[in-house]
Structure 1
Amino acid sequence: MSKYPSVKQIVVGLNAIVVQVVIVVLISGCESRKSESQQATVETETKDTITTPQKPTPVSQPLVSHMYTADPSAHVFEGKIYIYPSHDIEAGIPQNDNGDHFAMRDYHVLSMDSVGGKVTDHGVALDVKDVPWAGRQMWAPDAAYANNQYYLYFPVKDKQNIFRIGVATSTSPSGPFKAEKEPIKGSYSIDPAVFKDTDGSFYMYFGGIWGGQLQRWQTGKYDSTAAQEPADGMPLGAKVARLNKNMLQFAEPVKEIQIVDSTGKSLSAKDHDRRFFEAAWVHKYNNKYYFSYSTGDTHYIAYATGDSPYGPFTYKGVILNPVEGWTNHHSIVEYKEKWYLFYHDTQLSGQTHLRNIKVTELTHQQDGSIATVNAYIQ
């Protein structure tokens, strides 16, 4: 017998090999399609289970979007609403609890004839370079009208990095304003808010802890080593002083505002949901003084009422629940027989230091309480 296979044997062998190859290919194809099908199913299941977080729907829109604005102090002057906000910028400074990244350098004045109507930007009203004693960080301002002129009150760090409160004047509510050569004697910290009482007297409320440096003045002298706020016991209250008739200086020593609970006991420094942090504002309704403020790290705008512009003020509740962004700062004004709350959030940028101001209606209820505002539709 030949050791070599016959032609017939070769053909049969080749046929067997082809059949095996075909079977392998078919099996591989099936497995591949099965794998692809399983992968597609997994991907579909994954896509079905991933949801994109929805941003809350705001109850009001930014008043301006061509620049970032915050801390709106609103007043009715010459039949219009004038708003004196901070002007946020991106300065490229890392964020910290001292607020160094809030590096604002000027103020713009805004106005509108009606809520919901056109908002006019009147341009730069005051620049930090035009304040002789100023160093940096022009934070939340306020304004007042007396003696046939307008006054812009503003906090800014001096050349030693200590916050002082300055004043500038103008014959127009929109400015430009000219700053006095020195800050108000005896002033310190941030967030000046000027309230005109029904007897014509003007009072300035001010102060803010942490970056606002109020805690550094507990002894009456500036102490750069002071903790951000008291660990326990009595909290640090906002400050108040009546202004001179010339509106350029304090007429009396600075006093501290006391906020108490319904039993008359002072709020604890640990009571972060109710204690004062910054952003004081005062308005009067039915002969009651309403002292409102920010609780800071718990993000509420709260309020308390009293029978004197000096207090004490009894805590009543929350005006505005937390908004997007770390800080909040408000003002309250009556215009054409309605009350409005001005505030800010971070709708435009999503960044804490680049904010936008807003407005919504405020309601005083029959018992004098204020209906809590939710800035977003629940």
Structure 2
Amino acid sequence: MPEDSIQHIDFEDLNRRAISRPLVSHIYTADPSAHVFNGKIYIYPSHDVDAGEAFDDLGSHFAMEDYHVISMDSITSEAVDNGVALHVNDVPWAERQMWAPDAHEKNGKYYLFFPAKDYEGIFRIGVATSDFPVGPFIPQSEPIKDSFSIDPAVFKDADGSYYMYFGGLWGGQLQRWREGKFNAAEPESPVAHLPADNEPALCAKVAKLTDDLLQFAEEPRDLIILDENGEPLLAGDNDRRFFEASWMHYYQGKYYFSYSTGDTHFVCYATADNPYGPFTYQGRILNPVVGWTSHHSICEVEGKWYLFYHDSSLSKGVTHLRSIKVAELKHDAEGKIQTIEPYG
């Protein structure tokens, strides 16, 4: 929801109409990545704080410095904050801005995948490991080799392969990697280096991970989203093109790639027959929430599907102080996802 409309919102009425309530209210949380491990729900969000940074389109006010893991015994049970799982001070290569993470499990070990800016101000993606889903997590001494940008999401396919999907525009720096290396020109402009509106949109990236889940097994490739005519979405198609917040789930023979459109505030999805694509745009999952950003995950729990997302209703519209929520997600008989209205 656009920032300039926040001041006109009746938050008492909005919270009455909201289809869900914040899962935790003692801290601000965002960007929830949800998984079921050993029959229990674990949510890996970012931890919003008010660090006093000025609001800008580079996301400087999103100055998160640690991660908490939230757990739930069932979809209706109380959400429990398990404390600090990883702090930026414990990551040798990372200086600041621990943005949206994800996690996964392999052979009884748990992996936390997270973006952070290194000491040159460049977003990289790191990995930390633990014997427990709630941590504490021990980080690798270096980020993933050749990693860049933000919003890692790790998907386990039926054959046991793990894939990472990642990338984000503007403050997420994806547009600065168009030539294969970081372009440091015009660092204060979030729209520098973007394609023209009539050019193909920048794509999320996908790469298979090595068996130990600590590195890319291949060079990341573009995840292309096609329109109804089989043509790549254009950069000026702001209501449909990828901006950030990659997620992947598998349903009845199809791979569902979902993502945020960023400055137009939708969560959309596209489908393919394989984890690399190309994907074909299908529609919207979530209409705009209060607060500038949308970021989500989709998780199956006891035979039903759920959308984990966030909004800024608890903070009365403060963009960088968000709260995670959950709502049931439904696929129709043809596999289409029914669009969710967050406020009824």
When the two structures are superposed, what TM-score results if normalisation uses the length of structure 2? 0.93
Pairing 1:213-252 to 2, within 5 Å after superposition: 213-225=173-185, 227=192, 229-232=194-197, 233-252=199-218
- Rate the CA distance shift 1:114–1:251 in 2: closer, same or farther, 3 A: same
3-state SS, counterpart of residue 97 of structure 2: strand
Pairing 1:128-277 to 2, within 5 Å after superposition: 128-225=88-185, 227=192, 229-232=194-197, 233-277=199-243
Pairing 1:35-184 to 2, within 5 Å after superposition: 53=10, 55-56=13-14, 57-184=17-144
In the alignment, the residues of structure 2 paired with residue 136 and residue 273 of structure 1 have an alpha-carbon distance, to the nearest angstrom, of 31
Identify which range, 353-362 or 108-117, moves more after superposition: 108-117
Query: Partner of 2:5 in structure 1?
Result: none
Q: CA deviation at 1:225?
A: 2.1
Aligned AA (2:196): A
Is this contact kept in 2: 1:217–1:223, CA < 8 A?
yes
Aligned AA (2:113): Y
Q: How many residues align?
A: 327
Q: CA deviation at 1:148?
A: 2.3
Identity %: 64
More helix by share: 1
Q: CA deviation at 1:116?
A: 2.1
In the alignment, the residues of structure 2 paired with residue 52 and residue 161 of structure 1 have an alpha-carbon distance, to the nearest angstrom, of 36
3-state SS, counterpart of residue 323 of structure 1: coil
Query: Partner of 1:19 in structure 2?
Result: none
Query: Partner of 2:293 in structure 1?
Result: 327
Q: Summarize deviations over 1:324-351 as a string: whole Å, max 9, x none.
A: 0000100000010000000000011020
In the alignment, the residues of structure 1 paired with residue 281 and residue 134 of structure 2 have an alpha-carbon distance, to the nearest angstrom, of 35
In the alignment, the residues of structure 2 paired with residue 265 and residue 132 of structure 1 have an alpha-carbon distance, to the nearest angstrom, of 43
- Rate the CA distance shift 1:238–1:52 in 2: closer, same or farther, 3 A: closer
Is this contact kept in 2: 1:363–1:370, CA < 8 A?
yes
In the alignment, the residues of structure 2 paired with residue 88 and residue 228 of structure 1 have an alpha-carbon distance, to the nearest angstrom, of 28
Query: Partner of 1:356 in structure 2?
Result: 323
In the alignment, the residues of structure 1 paired with residue 115 and residue 255 of structure 2 have an alpha-carbon distance, to the nearest angstrom, of 24
3-state SS, counterpart of residue 297 of structure 1: helix
In the alignment, the residues of structure 2 paired with residue 122 and residue 258 of structure 1 have an alpha-carbon distance, to the nearest angstrom, of 37
Q: CA deviation at 1:228?
A: 5.6
Indicate the structure (1 or 2) with the bigger Cα radius of gyration.
Answer: 1
3-state SS, counterpart of residue 69 of structure 1: strand
Aligned AA (1:119): A
Query: Partner of 1:24 in structure 2?
Result: none
Unaligned runs of at least 5 residues, structure 2? 1-7, 187-191
In the alignment, the residues of structure 1 paired with residue 232 and residue 181 of structure 2 have an alpha-carbon distance, to the nearest angstrom, of 24
Q: CA deviation at 1:147?
A: 3.0
Query: Partner of 1:344 in structure 2?
Result: 310
